[in-house]
Structure 1
Amino acid sequence: MITSPLWLPATLMAGATQAWRTAVQRRVSHSLSINAAGLVRYLYGIPFALLLLGGYRLLFPAPMPGIGSRFLLFCLAGGLAQIIATNLLIMAFQHRNFVVGTAYSKTEAVQGAVLSFLLLGERLSPLAWAGIGCGVIGVMILSTGGKRMGPTDFLRALAQPAAITGIASGFFFALTAIGIRRATQEVGGDDRIVAALIVLATTVLLQTLIQGAWLILREPGQMRAVLASWRVSGQVGLLSALGSACWFTGFATAPVALVRIVGQIEVAFTMAFGHFYLRERMRRSEAVGLLLVVSGVALALMGAL
């Protein structure tokens, strides 16, 4: 159920911010291990997440909302799923280019639609499902580089490391969305933005403890590298906090599947960053795939009206 029209601009802003953050994080990942590159978004995101929550509370003062008994459990589940998803996405980047790695992870839209129906009972209109199908076809074109493939070739392509890690990343991102939505539902009150920001601050703190402890125990040298990379990593933390605040607001005010379908517009922003920021060439087939993804987003929006 959509509880506020705020979900749409929040989701669009989340897509743009996440594409920017992922592009910057990919550059950091060249000098850090997978776990260290994942940690920077949480560790350096903490101060910005707390500033967002504190600033919003100053602008809109109100009594602190009540917190349900399962709040921490859902924050922990969503946060852990996001750690796994982020690490898998970074691994996908190591097998293929930035755009293709992200494209595989965008199968999250259809995975999220199925999981949110099974776990949350959320239903979509036939038009929204058509949008999912259109978007998935676009993602597949992006992931295969527009090559003509028979069924055997397509299955072989899906067995490649980039496909496996990218699709697995999408699965865990879908689980992240479900965990975060349930966490926001455990926060009382009518202000869904403050609920999203409380969940964000809590989740980022938990993620920093989990992945930070892993790094200290297993890769102590990488922890020093994370601290030394504060100039670039600080940008990742800022963009991560802003993007997550927008995603969490979307999850708090609209069905998970709908937010993730519209969130596929991130692919458009990703291609722009890949082309202009990372200097990666854009093929004609990628433009066709992009058009299908955008068409899928439009169909999903029409189905939500």
Structure 2
Amino acid sequence: MMFSWVLFTLMAAFTQAWRNAFQKQLSSTVDSFGVTLSRFIFAFPLALIYLWWLYTAKPISEIVFFTSTYWIYIVLAACAQIFATMLMIRLFHQKNYAIGVGLAKSEAILAAILGVTFFGEYLSPIAWCGVMLGAFAIYLLSKGGIQNSKFSWNTFIIGILSGLFFAITLLFVREATLQLDNLPTIYRAAWVLVCVIGLQSILLLLYLMSFKRNTIVKMCERKGLVLAISFTSCLASLGWFTAMSMQTAAIVTTLGQIEMIFSLFISAFFFKEKLVRTDHWGLFWIVIAAIIVIWA
């Protein structure tokens, strides 16, 4: 379907909003390495089950073939997402929930710039308007949750770096899916999902078992929350990766800023946090930007 990428993006945005909320809860007792691992530890077997279900429900004759270039993209995407997540967790401790997520959504403008510059992607003038409007919304959100507060360079820099690594992740994910051009789109995304999450789980588990075993103990004490994070993370990644195999990263991430609407409700009703006028305007312009890129 022509707008399948829209549905997958909306699914990703909704589940990611909840995943981030659960991560914020876990970060009160578990360090950033443990919170990051919680995204992948149970998501990996779930991704394997999803891949098995795809081939069982609708078998295909095409054989998957992984090139060395494919694995380079997988490794770069996996590492970039780990760094992005750890930076976002730091951001949660500096601003309230919705603002932290908002700053990390700078990935849209960064994905547009990097995609056009280094990956040969094309954006129409209308699409650029949507992306730039989204960037303006991010600026409003970066002003913080206190009336008349000064511009926070520390928060802004961490948010931009988190968004940069998220943008790099999605660009490499898209390039990895394009390497599997003999497979149907949804199968490409499923293989990339399994490979990226699997590698991330191995890397973080090895690190924590070697240097931070106490973190694993703390994760076990809150295994219900860890499972919730992994489940929502798997669904979110499935949505992002599939949408990314159908549409350019900049367009998908700009529409994905609709996540801020879900985050706003979670922030207000789940964490009992308040937003000021600039935050409301930022969220409003994010919605307008998302509408623009859908019709670009």
Please say whether Structure 1 and Structure 2 have the same fold, judged by a TM-score greater than 0.5. Answer: yes
Aligned to 1:77: 76
Aligned to 1:218: 211
Contact 2:134/2:285 (CA < 8 Å) preserved in 1? yes
Superposed CA RMSD: 1.7
Amino acid aligned to 2:10: L
1:45, distance to aligned residue in structure 2 (A): 0.9
Aligned to 2:5: 7
Contact 1:43/1:208 (CA < 8 Å) preserved in 2? yes
Contact 1:66/1:188 (CA < 8 Å) preserved in 2? no
Aligned to 1:200: 193
**C-alpha distance after superposition, 1:228-287 (max 9, x if no partner):** 322111111111001100000011111111111111111111111111222212333322
Specify every segment of 5 or more residues in structure 2 that has no aligned partner in the other structure, as ranges.
none
Alpha-carbon distance in 2 for matches of 1:188, 1:127: 29
1:207, distance to aligned residue in structure 2 (A): 0.3
Amino acid aligned to 1:99: A
Provide the aligned length of Structure 1 versus Structure 2. 294
**C-alpha distance after superposition, 1:30-61 (max 9, x if no partner):** 11011111001111211211111111221111
Aligned to 1:18: 16
**C-alpha distance after superposition, 1:198-228 (max 9, x if no partner):** 1111111100111111112221111222233
Aligned to 2:163: 170
Aligned to 1:235: 228
Specify every segment of 5 or more residues in structure 1 that has no aligned partner in the other structure, as ranges.
none
Alpha-carbon distance in 1 for matches of 2:267, 2:88: 15
Alpha-carbon distance in 2 for matches of 1:225, 1:186: 39
Aligned to 2:86: 87
Q: TM-score, normalised by structure 1?
A: 0.92
The runs of 4+ residues in structure 1 deviating greater than 3 Å are 145-149
Q: 1:252 aligns with which of 245, 248, 251?
A: 245
Contact 2:127/2:293 (CA < 8 Å) preserved in 1? yes
1:179, distance to aligned residue in structure 2 (A): 1.1
Matches within 5 A, 1:43-58: 43-58=41-56
Q: TM-score, normalised by structure 2?
A: 0.94
Contact 2:95/2:144 (CA < 8 Å) preserved in 1? no
Further displaced range: 77-86 or 42-51: 42-51
